Amino acid sequence: MGHLSSDLLRTFVAVAETGSVTEGAARISRSQSAASLQIRKLEDVLGQPVFDRHGRGVVLTQTGERLLPVARDITRTLEATLCDLISDGLHGKLRLGIPDDHSKEILSRIVAEFAQSHPGVELEVVCALSTGFPDALAAGTLDLAIYEVAQPQAGLPVLRRERTCWMMSRHHDLLSREPLPVALFDRDCWWRDAALDALRAVGRPFRIVYSSQSIAGVAAAIEAGIAIGLLGETSLNRNLRKLGAGEGFGDMPVSRLVLGTRPDSDNQPIRAMQTAIRQAFKST
C-alpha cells in the first residue's frame, strides 16, 4: 500500500480550489507539468482518479470530493505547525495601507507571506485609493502605507518608478475630434493635475468626458474609444497606443511608488514589514 504525502495533498488542494492544473500549479509555485505529475502519483496511490478533465479545467470525482476536506485539514494543520515552529516571536498590531489597483499580486503576496512568517502580529490592511494615505500616516491611523507621488520627500524609500504617458485606443481615432475627449483620474489624484496642466500648455480645447478613481476605470474608458487619457507605461497593451510628441503630446512626469511610515514609529513589526516590502519590489 502506498502513502498520502503532504506534498501530493497540497498540490491536490490547489488544483481542486482553482479548478485548473495550470492555476493550481501557479498558486504553489510549481510548473504545470510538475503539478500534473503530482496528481498522477496521487491517483496511482488511490487507484482511482480524483479529477475528471473537461475543456481547460478539472472537476472533482466522487473520490476527490471525499478526499478534499481531509486534505484541507491536513495541509492547514501542517502549515500552522510550521508557522508556530519558525515564528520569530514578533507580537503586536500593524496597520498597513495598500493601493487598490497597483501591483496587486506583489502586495497580496507580501501580506500573505508576512502573516505566515509572523503569526503573532495582527495585521489590519486598508486597501483603498492611496491619495489619503499620507494624511492617515500623519494622523497615526496607519503605521505603514504604499502610495504614489510625483516627488518623494527626502529619505522616503522609492519602491518603483514609472513614466506616465498619454494613451489612446488603437481602434479609434480621437485626435481629430474638437474638443478632444479626455478621461481623467479623480480630483484627489496628482495624475489629474499633471494631465490638465499638460493639456492647457498645449492650448488645445478639450472636454472631460470620464472620471474614475482607479487605473482600471480610466484604462477601460480609453480602450473603449471614449477618450484619451494619462496612464503609466505598464498599462500599455495591444489595444492601446502611446501618443508622442509628433501628435502634440510630450514627455509626462515620472510616478514614484513610495513606502511611507507613521512619524515616530520604530518597532519590530514595522521594521519587519518594511524589509518584506522592499525585498518584494526589489525582486521584481
Q: Say if residue 207 is in the same domain as residue 168.
A: yes
Mean of the per-residue pLDDT values of the chain: 88
Q: 203 with 209: CB under 8 angstroms?
A: no
pLDDT in tens, 141-200: 999 999 989 888 888 999 999 999 999 999 999 999 999 999 998 877 889 999 999 999
Q: Which three cell numbers stand for residue 65?
A: 470530493
Q: What is the pLDDT of residue 85?
A: 73
- Summarised one tens digit per residue, pLDDT across range 108-151 is 778 877 887 787 888 998 887 788 899 999 999 999 999 989 88
- The DSSP line for the chain is -----HHHHHHHHHHHHHT-HHHHHHHTT--HHHHHHHHHHHHHHHTS-SEEEETTEEEE-HHHHHHHHHHHHHHHHHHHHHHHHH-----EEEEEEEETTSSHHHHHHHHHHHHHH-TTEEEEEEEE-GGGHHHHHHHTS-SEEEEEESSPPTTPPEEEEEEEEEEEETT---TTSSSEEEEEE-TT-HHHHHHHHHHHHHT--EEEEEEESSHHHHHHHHHTTS-EEEEEGGG--TTEEE--GGGT----PEEEEEEEE-TT---HHHHHHHHHHHHHHHH-
Q: Quick one: 81 and 134 in the same domain?
A: no
- Position 155 in a domain: no
Q: What is the pLDDT of residues 12-64, one digit of tens each?
A: 999 999 999 988 998 888 899 999 999 999 999 999 999 998 877 899 999 99
**Residue 123 falls inside a structural domain:** yes
> Do 79 and 124 have their domain in common?
no
Confidence of residue 214 (pLDDT cuts 50, 70, 90): confident
| Together in a domain, 15 and 81 | yes
Please give the Cα distance from 278 to 77 (Å, whole number): 30
- Does 14 fall in a domain? yes
The answer to whether residues 137 and 266 belong to one domain is: yes
d(CA 113, CA 119): 10
Is a pLDDT exceeding 70 seen at residue 268?
yes
Predicted confidence at residue 82, as pLDDT, reads: 75
Tell me the CATH number at 117.
3.40.190.10
Look at residue 274 and tell me if it is in a domain: yes
Question: Do 165 and 246 lie in a common domain?
Answer: yes
Q: What pLDDT digit, counting tens, does each position of 220-242 carry?
A: 999 999 999 999 998 899 999 99
- Percent of the chain beyond pLDDT 90? 56
Evaluate whether residue 1 is within a structural domain.
no
Q: How many residues does the chain have?
A: 284
Nearest partner of 130 among 253, 219, 215, judged by Cα: 215
Is 156 part of a structural domain of the chain?
no
Which domain-ending residue is among 33, 64, 86?
86
| Domain end point (choices 40, 71, 86) | 86
SS3 letters across 175-204: CCCCCEEEEEECCCCHHHHHHHHHHHHHCC
Q: How many domains does the chain have?
A: 3
246: in domain = yes
Domain end marker among 65, 86, 107: 86
The range of the structural domain enclosing residue 47 comes to: 6-86
